[in-house]
Chain A
Amino acid sequence: MIVQRKIRVLIAKPGLDSHDRGAKIVARALRDAGMEVIYTGLRQTPEQIVETALQEDVDVIGLSILSGAHTTLFPKIMKSLKGKGMSDVLVFAGGIIPQEDVLALKKIGIKEIFGPGTPTGVLVEFVQENARKKE
């Protein structure tokens, strides 16, 4: 019996923006690092994202947002994850997020925020190091 564990990641696009090149690049980089990456597609509600993460039993959620609605949508996602007992899922975010919002987002449990220009290698390493450790 060979046990074969993989890091499962959900890349999600909350809210109303329709640019997902960044999300796809991140998905591709994580795929190439040997992870199983599930993509939600565009315009997802917080409920859809959390429910998808639950059904797919992911270890990591990556949120990509460019619309500026992160201060509204991210807290809803984090609260809902907590409510469903999924606080052990690693959450990171990327996109256009002003520096002054970063601290508040980290306070609600988002582990890291990656801005434009982040080398994909940095991201891959971050996920590998921080993904929920399975016993």
Chain B
Amino acid sequence: MGQIEQLAKGVLQGNRRSIAKTITLIENNEPEAQKIVSMLFQKTGKAHVIGVTGPTGSGKSTLIEKMIRELRKRGKTVGVVAVDPTSPFTGGAFLGDRVRMQEHSTDEGVFIRSMANRNAPGGLAKATKDVIRVLDASGKDIVIVETVGAGQSEVEIVKVAHTIVVVLAPGLGDDIQAIKAGIMEIGDIFAVNKADRQNANKAISDIQAMLEMNTEKTGWKPSVLKITALTGEGIAELLAIIKEHKQYLKMGALEANRKEKAETELSEAIKQKIAESIIEDLKRKGEWEKITEKILTREIDPYSAADMLLKKKKRN
């Protein structure tokens, strides 16, 4: 058995070292990454993926810690992928999400992995989706994905999670913020954390008012609930709603949702592969430099250059 086969086998058996090593391969985009993902792919699709997003400091990590605790009580195994930002200046990252979750680090039924986003836009790392697959294939019942602290438009999470929990806190903004596009549109559940603070009710009513403006009458109606992650208040209720949402997805929405995700992913994979192959080809032939030079001297704009190259490619 080759090294990659052995690694894949380890992942399927839930071996923690194999899981960790496989994630590194994928995260680094090593040549073996695609091979191991293909090997695991058939064994994926079982885990329920919960996305936890929301602004910095709203309490995502603390909430996840409490969710793990509650899920473990119920005998569920849990994988966590916690994404934090990479510095655009140095390429380094400080990954601090698991500080709040360390109590679960030695629990055999929990696997926590921190990921730097490596400057990918949208709140996740480029490899996050495949890392979720590894945890899924390793047999975790639930995979929780924590996004980077999300402002308004970090909505990549919709592409990877089945149920999205948007964590907010009182005092972050008024009803004008609540009505804005982006993150406020993606929540299946809005959890207003730090409910022991002043203004929690105001935050709740702002979100409810926003949700009532939805003209869509069918489908899932997002829930809003008050929680205090620090004390665990509202966590059982949150998990109950997540379960309800899972049931709702099973009634048909999941299939549509899955199909859409598969299409998006296929189209992205094609774009990436084709773009890479064209660029490599151009570089090999030395044309890349020449065209770049023409763009720099304003002889041609990048779009026309791309059109020209595409035409040329089609002719061949």
Contacts and interface: CB of A to CB of B under 8 A. Distances in A.
Interface of A: 1-6, 8, 27-28, 30-41, 44-45, 47-48, 51-52, 54-57, 84-85
Nearest to A44: B102
A6 B23 CA distance: 13
Interface string B1-33: 000000000000000110111011000111100
Contacts of B24: 8, 57
Contacts of A34: 90-92
A40 B98 contact: yes
Contacts of A4: 28-29, 118
Closest 4 CB pairs of A and B: A41-B99, A31-B92, A57-B20, A34-B91
Contacts of A40: 98-99, 102
Given A35-B93, A44-B102, A84-B17, 12 more contacts: A2-B29, A6-B118, A34-B91, A34-B92, A35-B92, A36-B95, A38-B96, A39-B94, A48-B105, A52-B112, A55-B20, A55-B105
B112 A36 contact: no
A36 B105 contact: no
Given A1-B276, A47-B106, A38 B98 contact: yes
B29 A37 contact: no
A5 B99 CA distance: 24
A36 B116 contact: yes
Contacts of A38: 95-96, 98, 114
B87 interface: yes
Contacts of A52: 98, 102, 105, 112
A119 B258 CA distance: 52
Contact of A57 (B21, B87, B102): B21
A36 B85 CA distance: 10
A71 B28 CA distance: 36
A28 B96 CA distance: 12
B118 A51 contact: no
Contact of B16 (A3, A36, A44, A54): A54
Given A39-B99, A48-B106, A54 B94 contact: no
B111 interface: yes
A55 B112 contact: yes
Nearest to A31: B92
B114 to A, nearest CB: 5
A1 B98 CA distance: 30
A15 B19 CA distance: 28
Contacts of B112: 52, 55
A108 B111 CA distance: 29
Of B92, B100, B106, B118, chain A has the most CB atoms within 10 Å of the CB of: B92
A116 to B, nearest CB: 22
29 contacts: A1-B29, A3-B29, A6-B118, A8-B24, A31-B93, A31-B94, A32-B87, A32-B90, A32-B92, A34-B92, A35-B92, A35-B93, A36-B93, A38-B95, A38-B114, A39-B95, A40-B102, A41-B100, A41-B102, A44-B102, A48-B105, A51-B105, A52-B102, A54-B17, A55-B113, A56-B20, A56-B113, A56-B114, A57-B21
A123 to B, nearest CB: 14
Contacts of B23: 57
A4 B111 CA distance: 23
A118 to B, nearest CB: 19
B16 A55 contact: yes
A135 to B, nearest CB: 11
A126 B29 CA distance: 26
Contact of B116 (A5, A6, A30, A44): A6
